[in-house]
Amino acid sequence: MNTSSLPAASAAARGPASTPTPQPLGTWPNLVTLVRTLLAVAVGSAAVARADLGLLAAAYAIYWVGDVADGWLARRLDQETRAGAVFDIIGDRACTVLLCAGLLAARPDAWLVVAVFLVSFAVVDTMLSLSFLPWDLLGPNDFHRVDRAVWLLNWSPVAKASNTAGVTVLVLFGAYSAALVLALAILGVKVWSGARVASLLAAPPSRGASG
């Protein structure tokens, strides 16, 4: 492979990975991702069909608890993989898009908030979350090795909580104006982060890169 085609970031991000040896797709963390996605989609589908906020809250709980659990297991068992990171990103989008439909069914007046949030999370953030792939990283959680500002705004624990749960909780409690302000702010952060990552990808290779 011609390493000059890789983005020029920090030497740590380009050099040999000091991370665990990649594991097969059949790992415990990936099993948790699969189970929590299937359960959240099943319960979420029932919530959409019935416009039931109780079922919707249960589906969100399954999704969020499972999302925390698969990441914790991956680190605990030393089973973080690039394939697992992509699988997790796909599972997150499957859950979120369906559960947003549940929000619309139960809270139709929140359609503008949900629309902004979906553009932010399902479109902009999907590309942003997959942007770790050109670097020698196991997933977005390692992006601080490339750019700490982008990591802080998108994948630090505080950023993850506010980005995925903040808007939803506000909508569930009927605080639509606050939810819209937060959704727009998150979209702005995602667009800025995407532009910053794009500039890193477009940067010329370092002088030490071999052909």
Residue range 47-99, pLDDT digits in tens: 999 999 999 999 999 999 999 999 999 999 999 999 999 999 999 999 999 99
Same domain, 57 and 116: no
Query: What's the mean pLDDT when you consider all of the chain?
Result: 88
Q: Which of 106, 122, 152 is the last residue of a domain?
A: 106
Looking at residue 130, its pLDDT comes to: 98
- Look at residue 97 and tell me if it is in a domain: yes
Q: Which of 79, 106, 133 is the last residue of a domain?
A: 106
CA distance 106 to 108: 6
Q: Which of 89, 72, 87 is nearest to 30 (CA)?
A: 87
- Look at residue 211 and tell me if it is in a domain: no
Q: Which of 106, 134, 166 is the last residue of a domain?
A: 106
Same domain, 172 and 119: yes
- Look at residue 141 and tell me if it is in a domain: yes
Q: Residue 11: which pLDDT band, with cuts at 50, 70 and 90?
A: very low
Domain extent at residue 116 = 108-203
Domain total for the chain?
Answer: 2
pTM, two decimals, is 0.85
Sign of CA dihedral 29, 31, 32, 33: positive
CB-neighbour burial class of residue 5 (10 A; exposed 0-12, middle 13-18, buried 19+) = exposed
